[in-house]
Homo-oligomer: A and B are copies of this chain.
Amino acid sequence: MAQAAIMGFGTVGSGVYEIIRDSDFSGLLGEELKVKYILDIRDFDDEEIKPLLTKDFNDILNDEDIKVACEVMGGLHPAYEFTKQLLEKGVSVVTSNKELVATYGAELLEIAAANNASYMFEASVGGGIPIIRPMTVCTKANTVERIAGILNGTTNYILNEMLERGKSFEEALSDAQAKGYAERNPAADIEGHDACRKLAILSSMAWGKFVDYNEIPTEGIVNISSEDVKYAQKLNSVIKLIGYAELEEDNKIYARVAPMMVSDKIILSSVNGVFNAVMLRGNYLGEAMFYGRGAGKEATASAVVADVLDCARHFDSEKHNIVWDTENDGVMADCGDKVLSFFVRCKDTRENIEKQFDCVSYVDPIEGEIAFTVKNIQQKKLDAGLKELKNVVSCIRLLEE
């Protein structure tokens, strides 16, 4: 019998417990899989789980029966210390904790590799959608050229409501909170931090170098207005919060989280509601996309369990762990040099606009302002030009094919 520990009995943890309880994995594993411990500092009255509950992490660490643990507690501490101690002992750890993976992933992967254990985190990006594993496959025979993802369901829901029902940002946010899609303190979602951590993990996976999320410029959707949403429609586009990363010619990584106008020629523009999607461009593969529910108890828990099963199948064999190079000085590209296309709204004259930018293409504006796009301009040239314009209302990147 394979025995597992669950650390953290919140939404995901209880989902993991229920799936393992309700499934028969003996055909797959050649033995049964059981949960031996549930670690949580809280008390639970449920008779069924009472015999499994512990508040002492050492019960798990010192039990030789435990060969895999699910860290689904969230937060950095003590999740980091627990994970580290388990991996050092050769116990595999599976997690849904994107903050921990994005912060200490490189170190934890290295400890895992040194101790023939696995550190797996499929559930940390995209909930239940298989992304990390397909990405591992893609990156074997392909060089990933570009990642563009809708990595946060809350913001995608809000933007979708603004588009479909003409709501303001504030209305759509309240609605998302009422429906339980957004937290009472929604900052991590709407300011882009959640998407940023996921993009950092995906970028690290894609290029084998630890990408520090602190180095990814991140904008949320708090400044997106109903008018911006309508302008996007005029450009046959929709506004999405995009986690974008690209391998530059000099092998530097350009990464950014920002709202972008996504052309309806790109299938990402059809990803609606709370769904998530990750597009990858591989040098041989071309564009591929992975799509599904990016959150939710059962979906996320099923990804954790899939990782547990993978660990359980490979307990006795040598692991082929990934490692992320942490020598990443100068690994990130200078965003100012990046050539992009932009949509701009301002209250100025065409004359002054054309003094600042070449090849301006005007968009039918709302009264009292001018709207235009500029294609293929360096970020720093755009920034310099914008400074010379009066009353810039908004500036949004375009995501094109």
Let me know if B142 and A302 touch, CB within 8 A: yes
What does the 1/0 interface line of A57-82 toward B look like (CB < 8 Å)? 00000000000000000000000000
Per the 8 Å Cβ criterion, residues 305-352 of A in contact with B are 305-306, 309-310, 313, 317-318, 320
| A278-298 interface bits toward B, Cβ cutoff 8 Å, 1 = contact, 0 = none | 000010111111111100101
Q: Beta-carbon contacts of A195-212 to B below 8 Å, as 1s and 0s?
A: 000000000000000000
Contacts A138-B130, A141-B309, A306-B138 known; A291 to B289 CB distance under 8 Å? yes
- Contact flags (1/0) for A251-280 with B, using CB distance below 8 Å? 000000000000000010111100100000
Q: Collect the chain B residues with CB atoms within 8 Å of residue A320's CB.
A: 313
Interface: A23 (CB within 8 A): yes
A129 contacts the other chain (Cβ, under 8 Å)?
yes
Indicate which residue in B275, B291, B306 contacts A291 across the interface (CB closer than 8 Å).
Answer: B291
* Cα distance A133–B129 in the bound complex, in angstroms: 12
User: Complex Cα distance A285/B142, Å?
Assistant: 27
Residues of chain B with a CB closer than 8 A to A288's CB: 128-130, 290-293
Q: What are the residues of chain B within 8 A of A141 when measuring CB–CB?
A: 19, 23, 302-303, 305-306, 309
In the complex with contacts A134-B130, A292-B288, A309-B140, A282-B267 CB distance below 8 A: no
- Tell me how far the C-beta of A148 lies from the nearest C-beta in chain B, rounded to whole angstroms: 13
Nearest neighbor of A271 in chain B, beta-carbon distance:
B267
User: Is the CB of A299 closer than 8 A to any CB of chain B?
Assistant: yes
Tell me whether A289 and B286 are in contact (CB under 8 A).
Answer: no
In-complex Cβ contact of A282 among B128, B133, B272, B285 (8 A): B128
Would you call A301 an interface residue if the criterion is a C-beta within 8 Å of the partner chain's C-beta atoms? Answer: yes
Answer whether residue A28 sits at the interface, using C-beta atoms and an 8 A cutoff.
yes
A selection of 24 A-B contacts at a CB cut-off of 8 Å is A19-B284, A23-B141, A128-B285, A130-B134, A130-B137, A130-B138, A133-B137, A134-B290, A137-B306, A138-B302, A138-B306, A140-B305, A140-B306, A270-B270, A282-B302, A284-B299, A285-B298, A285-B303, A286-B292, A287-B292, A287-B293, A288-B291, A289-B292, A317-B317
* Top 8 A-B pairs, shortest CB-CB distance: A288-B292, A284-B302, A130-B134, A270-B270, A141-B305, A289-B291, A284-B298, A128-B285
